[in-house]
Chain A
Amino acid sequence: MMPRGKARKLLEFLAVVVIALGTRYVITDRYIQGIVVNALLLSVAVLGLQLIMGYAGQISFAQAGFMGMGAYASVLLTKSGLSFWLALPVAGLAAGLGGFLMSPIIRLKGVYFAMASLAFSIAIYVVFVNWGPVTNGTKGIIDIPYPKLGPVIIDSATSFMTLAIFTLWIEWKCFRNITESGFGRTLRAVRDNETAATAAGIQVNAAKMKVIFVGCFVAGIAGAMMGHYKGIVSPESYNFGESITLALMVLVGGLGSLRGAVIGAFFVTIGSEYIGAYAAQHRMLIYGIMMLLFMLFLPDGIDGLVRMVVGCFRRPAGPRQVAPTGVSR
């Protein structure tokens, strides 16, 4: 008989395989499949942003720009013949290294970092628009080859759904590990009180840079996948407004919660469909109102709301339950 831990892991893996391959039979409507793929791929990027904002406490308005870096990198590499599976990690790396460009501003606090990331986002956009020979400017890049896995061509909403689910699961496991590890504690200390963290011997700026690298890396991956899914890569998809939307997803889901990142991505993506149907021209206004309402009344997002409701049913008072690694949930 297999040891319990191993058995559990195997079961989990099988469950993911079943979900990844089986969702297409549960969600059969083409249109809804498209929304789900969108939401899943955005979740990949939003989880990265959650790590940066919710765990390291750095407000970033540049995440969409890094998605763009990954998208352009992957698309250009595959168009020149490289396999998608090799281009993908390179795209992530490109975005992650792009994150290092933010290292001079890393010592800026809170609002100032946010402003600088905004400036950064605009700068990236300007490069995308003006670097014609590489990015083809505002016209964008089309005729993007689909990923191939042996005989299987990933070219439909259903196949991308499968790919996205696997990717999200891997990312989730990795991020869970990070947040529950000693490094996760480092991040939260940096977020809560940089002075306390420094006084405990933590190199705050180094920790921030590492997290930004990871957050940008996954943004690059998400951007790359989206690029191949949509079949077109153009600067408009990676501008400041898109970065704000990603930040909104983090807030709506709940700042500081990995679950919240995915919840927020789905909530806003689905909401965006309704907005598109009835009031497309007021999209940003509605996002702004959403942001305001959440900051006023639900600062911990949907995840916070759920935890509060569930908490009402748990036994009250007493010391909080703490997992062996010392992380309280």
Chain B
Amino acid sequence: MELLSVRGLKKNFGGLAAVDNIDFGLTEGEITSLIGPNGAGKTTTINLITGFLERTSGTIQFKGTDIGGMPASKIVQLGIVRTFQISQVPHTFTVEEAVVLGAHSRLTFGLAAGLLNLSREQVRQKKAWQMAMEAIEFVGLKDKRHVICGHLPYGEKRMVELGRALATQPKVLILDEPAAGLNTAERSRLKQLIREIKASRLTILLIEHDMKMVMDLSDKIVVLNFGEKIAEGSREEIQLNPKVIEAYLGGGDV
């Protein structure tokens, strides 16, 4: 079933079309990869889907509803969650605080409840911490959960962000170049984690330059170049596609 679909999506910056008439869809439970040379419009597409950018035209449908004009926070609450190329974590938070932040998409932590420390506030906190602990253990940061995020190395900040994304209990997980800056060992761990996430029946959209990872993980690959979709298909189809090869002359790790 197509969970998320993008039709005729366009984004203009002044006179330049960063994303030009893109169609593709995410099948539920599958890993779809979005690849293309730098500047092809991948992150822009993600920003459009997740509400961080406003589209110029086209539709973005999630479970049949058009989410095109919605604010980013609302889209997260609907279950579409993303991570960033440069991991965005609150620098004064400890790891566990940063991850539990994800629970804020599912539970409402209101001002009044907090101020009066009502019992429902305490109940929600308990639930939130449960959700967070599962995510923290999954990404393997249990031992570091009291460390301040600002003090973490790059790779671990990635994991914190991933943990937070998982703590939102998403339906669609969008990862924007999660392997960037990771060493080989970290990459294979990341691959393993993504496989496990898929096994728990999440739908994943992956942007990556690491071609090996893309080929190993993806059920479907969508290729962008200069803001347009130039190919879509299985890994075999993409590897043999002349347009893709041409676009990538000199690019990507294989």
Contacts and interface: CB of A to CB of B under 8 A. Distances in A.
Nearest to A201: B105
A315 to B, nearest CB: 14
Nearest to B101: A200
Contacts, number: 129
B91 A177 contact: no
Contact of B147 (A191, A199, A319, A321): A319
Contact of A204 (B73, B82, B110, B129): B73
Classify chain B's interface size.
35 or more
Contacts of B73: 198, 201-204
A201 B104 contact: yes
A182 B124 CA distance: 8
A79 interface: no
A13 B122 CA distance: 23
Interface string B67-92: 00001111011000111100011111
Given A174-B115, A201-B104, A327-B97, A322 B84 contact: no
A253 B84 CA distance: 35
B181 interface: no
B92 A192 contact: yes
Interface string B111-128: 101111100010011001
Contacts of B128: 182
A80 interface: no
A178 B104 CA distance: 15
Question: Dominant SS at the A interface?
Answer: helix
A214 B116 CA distance: 13
Contacts of A192: 90-93
A166 B96 CA distance: 36
A186 interface: yes
Contacts of A178: 111, 114-115
Contacts of B146: 319-322, 328
Nearest to B160: A196
A181 interface: yes
A199 B89 CA distance: 10
Nearest to A319: B146
Contacts of B88: 193, 195-196, 199
A131 interface: no
A259 interface: no
A195 B101 CA distance: 12
A326 B76 CA distance: 23
A188 B84 contact: no
A322 B96 contact: yes
Nearest to B129: A326
A211 B110 CA distance: 11
A185 interface: yes
A186 B104 contact: yes
A203 B113 CA distance: 17
A183 B116 CA distance: 12
B111 A183 contact: yes
Of the listed residues B73, B74, B164, B168, the one surrounded by the most CB atoms of chain A closer than 10 A to its CB is B73
B182 interface: no
B48 to A, nearest CB: 15
A33 to B, nearest CB: 31
A186 B88 CA distance: 15
B104 A202 contact: yes
A325 interface: yes
Of the listed residues B82, B121, B124, B148, the one surrounded by the most CB atoms of chain A closer than 10 A to its CB is B121
B109 interface: yes
A181 B104 contact: no
Interface string B168-195: 1000000000000000000000000000
B101 A196 contact: yes
A201 B168 contact: yes
Contacts of B161: 196
Given A192-B90, A193-B89, A201-B105, A185 B76 contact: no
Interface of A: 174, 177-178, 181-186, 188-189, 191-193, 195-204, 210-211, 214, 319-322, 325-328
What 9 A-B pairs are tightest by C-beta distance, nearest first?
Answer: A201-B105, A182-B109, A181-B114, A192-B90, A319-B146, A201-B76, A183-B114, A196-B88, A200-B101
5 contacts: A182-B125, A188-B92, A192-B93, A193-B91, A195-B84
Interface of B: 50, 52, 71-74, 76-77, 81-84, 88-94, 96-98, 100-102, 104-107, 109-111, 113-117, 121, 124-125, 128-129, 145-148, 161, 164-165, 168
